[in-house]
Amino acid sequence: MKEKLLDLLACPLCGGDILLSYVGKYEEKEIVEAVLSCKKCEREYKVVRGVPRFADLDKIEHDKAETAENFGWQWTHFTQEDKKYADQFLGWLQPVKPEFFKDKFVLEGGCGKGRHTSLAAEWGAKEIVGVDLSAAVESAFQATKHLPNAHIVQADIFKLPLKKSFDYAFSVGVLHHTPDPKKAFLSLASKVKKGGAISAWIYGAENNEWITRYVNPIREGFTSKINQPTLYQLSKLPTLGVFLASKLLYKPANSVAKPLAKHLFYNDYLNHLGTFGWREQHNIVFDHLVAPTAFYISKEEFETWWKEINSNNVEIIWHNQNSWCGFGQI
């Protein structure tokens, strides 16, 4: 944890300022082990292995802990790098461009292992704070500690330990895995200053009926309950189906016979998947099978989120015909 992060932190319970009350260990400019305390209510929070901890995994609700744990395992095991990540990230953030980050205080709701936190830092954010509930913060911290403007915090998105001091908040692929996606969105938006902006990318209800009908029962009743190393192996089988279809059918069909390809089942998405290699596809399939909680949200419902925060100039963009990118000013 970098000391300047203190200016952005606030007690998740009373909103009080956070002070550094004891430092156990510094490593270069990082505070590695320490105790933080709330100026107002005097509650204490620890910094462990460089990450301030505002969430007690023993006390948070069971389903949230389960989601965090399942994704946490994945994020510490899928650590491959891919130059396509930046393009993929920008696809989810539409219409935001890298220049938008310049000199802004940025908040990421659900940073996983910090891939997007790094990109935001590299694109010139003044400070970027990545928040995650899961053990993936360990990887996120390692991946971002060399970046002077990047910070990782372990906390619950519903109880963010932050001041209302951000110019921009974003959350990609996370809100729909919380028990109440709209409430999580509102919580994130509550940390953005007037005149700031927010982006969210969520699974769409439209075109995903096949997932809600066929994949959800398997995920809820079986794959989110088995241990992850087993699921990791088992998920290679459906990945093989997706991999072969996307590489041998969708990609060639879209390059030689586009008008015909349009009629293929789920064409935009599977054609897009065809641009990824085996490991990234495996990652995506695993993602759909591992989460105990997943909501698929309609455009109509998504629009009500933005109305609730009185957002101006909202843009809601249909992405790969299976998900929604939202962007709006506050």
Interface ranges with Zn ion (CB under 5 A): 11, 13-14, 16, 38, 40-41, 43
HEC readout, 120-159: HHHCCCCEEEEEECCCCHHHHHHHHCCCCCEEEEECCHHH
**H or E segment and range at residue 282:** helix 278-290
- For residue 15, which of 41, 36, 34 has the smallest C-alpha distance? 41
The least CB distance from residue 43 to Zn ion, in Å, is 5
Q: Which residues have a Cβ under 8 Å from the Cβ of 97 and sit 6 or more positions away?
A: 90
Q: Which is nearer to Zn ion, 104 or 191 (CB)?
A: 191
For residue 158, CA distances in Å to 63, 107, 277, 299, 325 come to: 14, 14, 35, 23, 21
Q: Which is nearer to Zn ion, 19 or 41 (CB)?
A: 41
The least CB distance from residue 160 to Zn ion, in Å, is 13
Q: Which is nearer to Zn ion, 93 or 162 (CB)?
A: 162
Q: Which is nearer to Zn ion, 161 or 196 (CB)?
A: 161
Count the Cβ atoms, other than its own, within 10 Å of residue 107: 31
Q: Which is nearer to Zn ion, 39 or 84 (CB)?
A: 39
The least CB distance from residue 19 to Zn ion, in Å, is 11
The least CB distance from residue 15 to Zn ion, in Å, is 7
The least CB distance from residue 3 to Zn ion, in Å, is 20
Q: Which is nearer to Zn ion, 187 or 322 (CB)?
A: 187
The least CB distance from residue 159 to Zn ion, in Å, is 11
